[in-house]
Amino acid sequence: MKIALAQLNYHIGNFEYNTQKIIHSIKAAKNKGADLVVFAELAVCGYPARDFLEFDEFISLCEKAVQDIALHCLDIACIIGLPVKNPILQGKDLFNAAYFIEDGKIKSIAKKALLPTYDVFDEYRYFEPATTFECIEFKGKKIALTICEDLWNINENPLYVSSPMDELIKQQPDLMINIAASPFSYTHDEERIKVLADNAKKYQLPLFYVNQVGAQTEIIFDGGSLVFDSEGSLKAEMKYFEEDLQVFDLDEVQNVRNKYPESSRATDIEQIYDALVLGIKDYFQKSGFSKAVLGLSGGIDSAVVCALACKALGAENVMAVLMPSKFSSDHSVQDAMDLVNNIGCLHEIIAIKPATDAYDGMLENAFKGLPFNLTEENIQARIRGAIVMAMSNKFGYILLNTSNKSECAVGYGTLYGDMCGAIGVIGDVYKTQVFDLARYINKDQEVIPINTIVKPPSAELRPNQKDSDSLPDYDVLDKILYQHIELKQGLASITAQGYDEALVKRILKMVNVAEFKRYQTPPILRVSSKAFGMGRRMPIVGKYMV
């Protein structure tokens, strides 16, 4: 049996686009001699469709699309994911399901049993879990078909009390197929490979796994579809961050060594870079936009975002706005201009001194006798926010937010100022990782000026300001933030690692006090295992750790 894995980039709710892409892949797989072509979880509608799933018309369009797709499944079978209605009144109205289509007809339906409700997942909101399981018979083989999470109940601390494969294995299947929508994080690829390899070893069956690729707002899918033999050896690894279609011979997967080429493992920073470029590109293309604007300060955050945007959209589609104030250093303006010249993007220089002078005059009586403080700093940031939003409105640019994860975590940013934007590009990238990204961007030639990388970070909102005036050193801050945010550690456990208790307490308090700000920021491209946004849900008025 020859099995094609179709790793595609879907567009949520764009049924015509998804259907044509799927039909094209069916034809391509047939031309490559495949007997079966496999598509990802909820491929027909895109994942995650969220509350679109509550519309009857949306579900009806899914079914109509599959009927159109089935007409092309002649001399080739396919497995494809979609939501299907639950005919039983009790329980949720839908199943997260997969159709097995052969000879133009739906021959079998597999339903997802393990419905994740952690991090970015909220599947039990919409779907009823499956309770019965049947293998699919095709070309003299029995296929154990599961959907994404159904194979993830295999670690030392299982989330679920049962596993679909424990039921399916009783029917003596010949192979496993798992269709998935497994989001990217830079620590997830190796974990994913281990979980799937453990399944192949446990059940002593070859395993074919297909994932989606592409970004859906903040969630990025990295592809990386996989094939294992019955010993759990990784036999094939498909492309990351790209569409791909490959055909595998079941007998060769089992019996032929080194049949399929190995792929090299990318570093974390390489993966983050590729993910962010894809995230920007898909956010714009799927939203129907093509041009971006951002404030370019001469600092490293905006420089990295500008470079990423130019890679994703083309330099000719990126407008960098330099907005110097009376506190901006000459070298910051020069660093920003050096980047513009290196990268070739559009730019405007709009000094904000006239606006800040106007605010000073308007507020002179109200603020009479009071010293310059954070208020005046924030006014400058909000003036800049108003300028880039004016550029957005006037020219149809989409504003990119340039706040990093370290700043987002501790609230080091101005609401309606530097925290505004349509999409947060590096809001899930710690400051120390931003420096690593800058060096990676410069690996072949100097794109980001060296001075931007080596100079001390500064918001330049008051004389001689440095980030270190307000924040701990980023090397220390980011390690503590990682322990707290990604690893969910509290004061006692972080302090036990040797960090100063007063420092840890101060940082955790800043994180929790800033929660109200994060509720008002744009969606952030997710590249870690715990990003700000829908995957991290904290109360604004909670007392714990404050």
Residue 148 appears among annotated catalytic residues = yes
- Is 528 annotated as a binding-site member? no
Ramachandran angles phi, psi of 107, nearest 5°: -100, -25
Peptide bond into 48 cis (omega under 30): yes
- Is 329 annotated as a binding-site member? no
- Is 493 annotated as a binding-site member? no
Which H/E stretch holds residue 349? strand 346-349
CB of 134 closer than 8 Å to CB of 30: no
- Is 300 annotated as a binding-site member? yes
Question: Tokens 């961050």 identify what position?
Answer: 241
Which value, to the nearest 10 degrees, does the dihedral of the CA atoms of residues 26, 31, 33, 36 take? 0
**Rounded CA separation 214/223 (Å):** 8
**Rounded CA separation 167/545 (Å):** 44
**Rounded CA separation 388/120 (Å):** 30
Residue 353 appears among annotated catalytic residues = no
Structure tokens at 451: 């001075």
**Rounded CA separation 297/118 (Å):** 37
Catalytic residue among 112, 286, 291, 530: 112
Which H/E stretch holds residue 401? strand 398-401
Comparing C-alpha atoms, which of 371, 369, 389 is closest to residue 381?
A: 389
Q: What is Dmax (Cα atoms) for the chain?
A: 88
- Is 458 annotated as a binding-site member? no
- Is 31 annotated as a binding-site member? no
**Rounded CA separation 150/163 (Å):** 7
Ramachandran angles phi, psi of 112, nearest 5°: -75, 135
CB of 291 closer than 8 Å to CB of 398: yes
- Is 290 annotated as a binding-site member? no
- Is 468 annotated as a binding-site member? no
**Rounded CA separation 516/526 (Å):** 20
Crossing angle for the helix pair 431-441 and 300-313, to the nearest 10 degrees = 50
**Rounded CA separation 545/480 (Å):** 14
Catalytic residue among 45, 78, 148, 310: 148
- Is 411 annotated as a binding-site member? no
CB of 533 closer than 8 Å to CB of 491: no
CB of 209 closer than 8 Å to CB of 225: yes
- Is 297 annotated as a binding-site member? yes
Kindly give the pairing relationship between strand 398-401 and strand 423-424. Answer: parallel
Structure tokens at 436: 């690593």
Coil, strand, or helix at residue 98? strand
- Is 517 annotated as a binding-site member? yes
Contacts of 412 (CB under 8 A, 6+ apart): 406, 467, 470, 471
Comparing C-alpha atoms, which of 162, 227, 170 is closest to residue 200?
A: 227
289 burial type by CB count under 10 A (0-12 exposed, 13-18 middle, 19+ buried): middle
Give the residue ranges of DSSP H helices in 35-172: 56-70, 164-168
- Is 225 annotated as a binding-site member? no
CB of 32 closer than 8 Å to CB of 237: no
Catalytic residue among 41, 128, 237, 460: 41
- Binding site for deamido-NAD(+), by residue number, is 378, 407, 517
What residues form the annotated binding site for ATP? 295-302, 402
Q: Residues marked as binding? A: 118, 182, 295-302, 378, 402, 407, 517
Annotated binding-site positions for L-glutamine = 118, 182
Catalytic residues: 41, 112, 148
